[in-house]
Amino acid sequence: MNAEMIEQPEHGGRNPDLSSVVIALCKGMIDREADPRLWQLLVNLQLAVSDYVGILGLELILDEAEGYAFLQAREGSADEDKSSYALPRLVARRQLSFHVSLLLALLREKMAESDASGGETRVILSRDEVVEMIRVFLPDGTNEVRLFDQVDSYINQIVKMGFARRLKGAEKMIELHRIIKSFIDAQWLAEFDTRLAEYQTLQLSLRK
pLDDT tens-place string over residues 148-166 = 898 999 999 988 888 898 9
Q: How confident is the model at residue 183 (pLDDT cuts 50, 70, 90)?
A: confident
pLDDT tens string 55-64 = 888 889 898 9
Rounded Cα distance, 98 and 1, in Å: 50
Spatial CB neighbours of 98, under 8 Å, sequence gap ≥ 6:
195, 199
The domains found in the chain, sorted by start residue, are: 3-81 (1.10.10), 98-207 (1.10.10)
Please indicate whether residue 4 or residue 185 has the higher confidence score (pLDDT): 185
> Taking 60 as the threshold, does the pLDDT of residue 11 lie above it?
no
pLDDT tens string 74-99 = 765 334 444 444 444 444 455 678 88
Q: What percent of the chain is modeled with pLDDT above 90?
A: 20
pLDDT of residue 56: 81
- How far separated are the first and last CA of the chain, in Å rounded? 71
